[in-house]
Amino acid sequence: MILFDELGPKDEPLGIDNILKNCQWDYDYGYRQLKVKIGRSGKMYPHDKGLAKDIEVVRAIHEAFKGKGVDILVDANDAYSYQDTLDFLTGVGDTPIFWVEEPFEENCKVL
């Protein structure tokens, strides 16, 4: 599970290198699926900056592990809107996403 590992003390954030270090640890221990928490918008960052950071993180992981047989799964814990989900998927472009979990709250109506 890759959380918001770029965060740290406010005066000394750890950066994406820390995320990649943690991904490498998982890879070295045999994991071939990396579940990445997304949904930084409005929680850890202002909305647009958080969405951009989610995209940057997923793309960086893909670039670092491309060709190594690693699947990327993402989980927003209902933190996105429908539009955020579309913007995220557009933003990651051709980055293969194996699984998208709980992108937004479901509002089902029985007809």
Which single residue is written with the structure tokens 């913007």? 87
- Does residue 57 form part of some domain? yes
Longest Cα–Cα distance of the chain, Å, equals 52
Total number of domains in the chain: 1
pTM (two decimals): 0.91
- Does residue 10 form part of some domain? no
CA-based nearest residue to 85, from 70, 97, 67: 97
Domain with 28 in it: 19-101
Which single residue is written with the structure tokens 């994406």? 16
Q: How confident is the model at residue 47 (pLDDT cuts 50, 70, 90)?
A: very high
Is the pLDDT at 15 greater than 60, yes or no? yes
- Does residue 110 form part of some domain? no
pLDDT digits (tens, 9 = 90+) for 63-85: 999 999 999 999 999 999 999 99
Distance CA 31, CA 16 (A): 19
- Does residue 40 form part of some domain? yes
